[in-house]
């Protein structure tokens, strides 16, 4: 048996019970985010859509749930030593905020050319930002090195049992609030949100169909499902910057594989259309990645006709000038 296979066999995958534990930890800490409906969207899709607005979550995305849960699960000794994350996106801010709330030191490894607003937001929550040159250095190696030297726990953005269980609490709330959801549609990057949602569904809505939505440019998840193994792709180019990962995780893939109904894709143009629709009709500001699920319902990539459909709007972190540029691009 090679090292790789051996490592996989020792994986301990999170369970629906772990989501229940995360629900208790996040109670009174994470926002119980609102669920929005729209007769216009329902008329356009022929479905009843329930939008779970994680763009209104603390830190502006569902990532706060996984980050907080993972830090809460640490031993007292680990909490004293602190944690490290590598991310230039929503996971960085989520970790910084979750660390501050729990009095745990957080270091975030970010590319030297990360947007200034993201660096400022992460620092604003009290985390230390460590820069690396993304053309010359490997951020995972830097993160691991830091973890080893300072004894910090490495908390990745999706491939971690407590992160996955934490992300599952969003879908858990949706299933608690709305009865008889037939279909749940989730954005798909590395699979933390989707795998967590699957665990939540296994307990609360076992007959619910589950779909993941990727940007067209990076359909590694769809390829992985087809091949029955994790497929690696080169970094995709899409406006859905929260979902441009190159591969699913060792923890997320097996959970997705055992239960998923389908993985579909949408184009950047379709994302912009969904983003504009959310702003115009529902006054919701979502980031492009946050619109993957709604775009799949609007385009018919997921068959929603006549169904009660939960859609995870996963995040809303986008600066207004970029938002303006995207929604003012002519569409047809
Ligand atoms: C991280 C992120 C995703 C993708 O989540 P995964 O757990 O990596 O699949 C989707 N939307 C937003 C807003 C994100 O920040």
pLDDT digits (tens, 9 = 90+) for 191-207: 999 999 999 999 999 99
Q: Which whole number is the average pLDDT over 14-27?
A: 98
The sheet carrying 183-187 orders its strands as 35-36, 48-53, 308-313, 183-187, 209-215, 262-266
The stretch 310-331 carries a mean pLDDT of 91
* Per-residue pLDDT at 8: 53
Which residue, by CA, sits nearest to atom 13 of ligand 1?
A: 315
Q: Average pLDDT in the 62-71 region?
A: 98
Closest residue (by CA) to atom 3 of ligand 1? 242
Cα–ligand 1 centroid distance for 242 (angstroms): 5
Q: How far is the CA of 261 from the centre of ligand 1 (A)?
A: 19
Average pLDDT of 185-190?
A: 98
The pLDDT assigned to 332 comes to 47
Residue 86 is predicted with a pLDDT of 87
pLDDT at 89: 87
Protein residues whose CB sits closer than 6 Å to any atom of ligand 1? 61, 63, 89-90, 157-158, 167, 187-194, 242-243, 287, 289-290, 314-315
Reported in sequence order, the residue ranges of the chain that DSSP labels E, i.e. its strands, are 35-36, 48-53, 83-86, 106-111, 128-132, 153-154, 183-187, 209-215, 262-266, 308-313
pLDDT (0 to 100) of residue 118: 83
Q: Taking 50 as the threshold, does the pLDDT of residue 2 lie above it?
A: no
| This prediction's pTM | 0.95
pLDDT, average across residues 300-328: 96
Q: State yes or no: pLDDT of 1 exceeds 60.
A: no
Whether 270 shows a pLDDT value over 80: the answer reads yes
Q: Which two tokens stand for residue 110?
A: 């970010």
Between 7 and 208, name the one with better pLDDT: 208
Q: What percent of the chain has a predicted confidence (pLDDT) above 90? A: 84
Q: How far is the CA of 14 from the centre of ligand 1 (A)?
A: 18
Render pLDDT for 84-106 as a digit per residue (tens, 0 to 9). 998 878 999 999 999 999 999 99
Per-state percent for the chain, helix, strand, coil, to nearest 5: 50, 15, 35
Catalytic residue status for 88: yes
For ligand 1, pick from 189, 198, 313 the residue to mutate: most ligand atoms within 8 Å of CB: 189
Residue 7's pLDDT band (boundaries 50, 70, 90)?
low
| Side-chain-facing half-sphere of 80: CA atoms under 13 Å | 3
Tokens of 166: 């934490």
Distance 120 CA to ligand 1 centre (A): 21
Q: Evaluate if residue 255 carries a pLDDT over 60.
A: yes
- Do the Cβ atoms of 247 and 16 come closer than 8 Å? no
The pLDDT of residue 98 is: 98
Given 52, 63, 118, 307, the catalytic residue: 63
Catalytic residue among 87, 88, 157, 186: 88
Q: What digits encode the pLDDT tens for the residues 116-170?
A: 888 898 999 999 999 988 778 888 888 888 899 999 999 999 999 999 999 999 9
Q: Highest mean pLDDT: which of 42-56, 142-156, 316-330?
A: 42-56
214 is catalytic: yes
Catalytic residue, from 18, 220, 287, 303: name it.
220
% of the chain with per-residue pLDDT over 70: 96
What's the mean pLDDT in 21-27? 98
Mean of the pLDDT values across residues 22-27?
98
**Strand pairing category for 308-313 and 48-53:** parallel
């Amino acid at each position: 048996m090679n090292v790789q296979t051996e490592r996989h066999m020792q994986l301990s995958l999170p369970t629906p019970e772990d989501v229940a534990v995360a629900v208790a930890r996040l109670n009174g800490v994470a926002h119980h985010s609102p669920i929005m409906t729209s007769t216009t969207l329902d008329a356009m899709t022929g479905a009843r859509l329930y939008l779970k607005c994680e763009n209104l979550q603390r830190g502006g995305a569902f990532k706060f749930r996984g980050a907080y849960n993972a830090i809460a699960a640490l031993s007292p000794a680990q909490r004293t030593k602190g944690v490290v994350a590598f991310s230039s996106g929503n996971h960085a801010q989520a970790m910084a905020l979750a660390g501050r709330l729990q009095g745990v030191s957080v270091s975030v490894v970010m590319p030297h050319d990360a947007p200034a607003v993201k660096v400022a937001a992460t620092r604003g929550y009290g985390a230390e930002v460590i820069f690396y040159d993304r053309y010359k250095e490997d951020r995972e190696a830097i993160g691991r090195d830091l973890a080893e030297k300072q004894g910090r726990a490495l908390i990745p953005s999706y491939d971690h049992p407590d992160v996955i269980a934490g992300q599952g609490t969003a879908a858990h709330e949706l299933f608690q609030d709305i009865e008889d959801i037939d279909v749940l549609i989730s954005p798909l990057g590395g699979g933390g949100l989707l795998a967590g949602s699957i665990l939540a569904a296994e307990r609360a809505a076992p007959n619910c169909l589950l779909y993941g939505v990727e940007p067209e440019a990076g359909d590694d998840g769809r390829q992985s499902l087809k091949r029955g193994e994790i497929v690696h792709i080169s970094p995709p180019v899409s406006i859905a910057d929260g979902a441009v990962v190159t591969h699913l995780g060792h923890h997320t893939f097996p959970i997705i594989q055992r239960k998923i109904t389908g993985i579909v894709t949408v184009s950047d143009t379709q994302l912009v259309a969904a983003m504009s629709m959310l702003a115009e009709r529902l006054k919701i500001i979502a980031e492009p990645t946050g619109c993957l699920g709604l775009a799949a319902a609007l385009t018919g990539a997921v068959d929603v006709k006549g169904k009660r459909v939960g859609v995870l709007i996963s995040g809303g972190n986008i600066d207004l000038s970029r938002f303006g540029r995207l929604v003012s691009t002519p569409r047809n």
